[in-house]
Structure 1
Amino acid sequence: MSFFRNQFANVVEWEEFRDDMIFWKWSNREIKKGSRLIIRPGQDAIFINNGKIEGIFHDEGDYNIASEIIPFLSTLKGFKFGFNSGMRVEVLFVNTKEFTVKWGTKSAIHIPTPQLPGGLPIRANGTFNFKVNDYVALIDKIAGVKESYFVDDIKLRMTSILDQLLMKWISKEGKDMFNLQANAFEIAQGIREDMDMQIINDGITITGFNVMSFNYPEEIQEMITRTASHSMVGDLQRYQQISMTDGIASGKVQGGGAASDMAGMMMGMNIANEMLKNMNKGKNTTDQPAPSAPPAQANNDESDNTDGGKQKPNFCPNCGTKTSGGNFCSNCGHKLV
């Protein structure tokens, strides 16, 4: 009799529950009359007989299996408990919540780019989300041969293909390799769709994928930062000049003291000259002074003291009075020309 007591269960429940468990299978025991089924929040209970789903129960609660569960099982609804006999079934408990997994590249991914023959080494990190969405596929592909399944199992499977997917979607045409964060959403959407296609046949779906950051090697990140900070200056030659000036001023380039002071002065002069050039370019040509008008033509009667080409005398020949430029003497009225 002790043998039968050990083989029968009074309570069917998720005995080894963990937050990172996707499912756990209650098996290798028979259910006797009077046994109870306990379903906790966030769990579904699936009764399986000979590999076939007999019934799925979603609502949390404490149920009497004989009176509240068996009547709803597809082929076992007529089962009658007999003396020392029980019902042998498996109960698969599934965690119904959406799981969040952190991911990160283990080593740098070398993205082909014309600027760097060996490829641009990039690391990335973020999160992805998944949940169980098809119990039939889950049992057929995974739960049929496993007693339990964990988040780490999914993470290991997804991260094994993540490097290839990152390379695929980063290398899409039109991406600025030195500003990938601007395209993070588009890259993440493409990766999510591809990951979902890889795992959806197992009854699991990828509900979200996010790229938190792209990380460049230190020297490349410094170059990106410097290029952005000096973008207002102009061409590469100008950038190199300022880089050298910065190096002297900071002491990284030999020549402190007076050399550093001279570097600072040169930088100030260069910036001032650049500002003046920009100001001159912005001036409108209409701001130039208008040409002066030609001088008005002098009166014929008074120009060069002439009349008809004859020179007027400086003194009146009749009375000797100094002339004033008129045609007649102002003292005696004598005609001067």
Structure 2
Amino acid sequence: MMSFFRNQFANVVEWQEFRDDMIFYKWKNNEIKKGSKLIIRPGQDAIFLNNGKIEGVFHDEGEYDIESQIIPFLSTLKGFKFGFNSGMRVEVLFVNTKDFVVKWGTKNAINIPAPGLPGGMPIRANGTFTFKVHDYVALIDKIAGVRDQYVVEDIKIRITSVLDGLLMKWISQEGKDMFNLQANSFEIAKGIQEDLDMQLMESGMTITGFHIMSFNYPKEIQDMITKNASHGMVGNVDRYQQISLTNAMASGKMNGGGAASDMAGMMMGMNIANQMMDKMKQSSGNGEKAQTQPQPKEGEQKRANFCPNCGTKTGEGNFCSNCGQKLI
């Protein structure tokens, strides 16, 4: 008999079958009996609802006697008295208060408009975002009012459905270097976070962080970026050719290759030599003017420094002092 009455008049209100990825959980037995206890665990808030409206929110972890410690703080149920066979019919919603961390990644490449690429630059990206519940009224009105539980995967699906478009929007902003998007990742992520926060706000959620770990280019583009970055010479074609020749010689790829490799090496060497000569001429032209020998006037013949007959160095005279050869 005592066991019968204990089961009838007492129960425990708690988050049963707790899951770390669950955003909220609705206690299913909505009749609370006399002598019932409320258990709130770390990282949980308990919300008492009556006809869909919030009666009270309890934050502190611990075990509470509902009749003496909870009911006195409920908005419209402060004077509720338990009957012998009746209980208090309310709903209790438990909310996970932590920040949820979610990994994201583009399923398909996003074609970002880029100069010289009519079809756009196909780019993939990945990273993480964090969110949490911040507005219980909106949460209950939009989601908890019709669902008994809500998990992180529900939010992830909602976010990834709009993420490609937001990446396209913020990457395409003017001034972005399409071949070094990582340098602008903070600015891009900040813009996306603001847009996502606006979309989730009506559901009682807030985006507390959005991060881009990396941008991934097509293999051909990535190889070019990696090679340029490794040599520290992006945009310096001359230095690229010089280092390419040096690498080929150091690796032995130009040794023992027969006529073809010899010809390739010769052509590369000539090409680099010509470019160096061009640069020297440009430097000479842009800098201080080089001194030049005075040119002879029209009708004059230039005096030879050496005798054309015997090779003796000449002076100011008109005839060679050694053999008598006329010099002019």
**Structure 2-normalised TM-score?**
0.76
Question: In the TM superposition, what are the counterparts of 1:154-193 in structure 2 within 5 Å?
Answer: 154-193=155-194
Residues 161-214 of structure 1: CA deviation (Å, up to 9, x unaligned): 000111111111111212111111111111111111111011000111111111
CA positional deviation for 1:73? 0.5
Q: Give the SS at the match of 2:107.
A: coil
**Alignment match, 2:288:** 285
Question: In the TM superposition, what are the counterparts of 1:44-193 in structure 2 within 5 Å?
Answer: 44-193=45-194
CA positional deviation for 1:56? 0.3
Deviates more, 1:267-276 or 1:23-32: 267-276
- Return the alpha-carbon distance in structure 2 between the equivalents of residues 209 and 37 of structure 1: 36
**Alignment match, 1:234:** 237
- Return the alpha-carbon distance in structure 2 between the equivalents of residues 280 and 100 of structure 1: 60
Amino acid aligned to 1:210: H
Amino acid aligned to 1:234: V
Residues 226-271 of structure 1: CA deviation (Å, up to 9, x unaligned): 4554546437xx979998998999999xx94343344345445544
Partners of 2:101 and 2:130 within 8 A in 1: yes
**Alignment match, 1:263:** 264
Q: Give the SS at the match of 1:19.
A: coil
Amino acid aligned to 1:143: A
Name the CA shift for 1:44/1:197 in 2 (closer, same or farther; >3 Å).
same
Residues 284-309 of structure 1: CA deviation (Å, up to 9, x unaligned): 52785999xxxxxxxxxxxxxxxxxx
Q: Which runs of 5+ in 1 are unaligned?
A: 292-337
- Return the alpha-carbon distance in structure 1 between the equivalents of residues 93 and 9 of structure 2: 18
Partners of 2:245 and 2:268 within 8 A in 1: no
- Return the alpha-carbon distance in structure 2 between the equivalents of residues 91 and 143 of structure 1: 11
Identity between Structure 1 and Structure 2 (%) = 76
**Structure 1-normalised TM-score?**
0.75
- Return the alpha-carbon distance in structure 2 between the equivalents of residues 110 and 249 of structure 1: 39
Larger Rg computed on CA atoms: 1
Name the CA shift for 1:262/1:231 in 2 (closer, same or farther; >3 Å).
farther
Q: Which runs of 5+ in 2 are unaligned?
A: 295-328
CA positional deviation for 1:143? 0.4
- Return the alpha-carbon distance in structure 1 between the equivalents of residues 69 and 139 of structure 2: 26
* Aligned pairs, number: 288
- Return the alpha-carbon distance in structure 2 between the equivalents of residues 25 and 196 of structure 1: 25
- Return the alpha-carbon distance in structure 2 between the equivalents of residues 186 and 164 of structure 1: 16
- Return the alpha-carbon distance in structure 2 between the equivalents of residues 107 and 268 of structure 1: 44
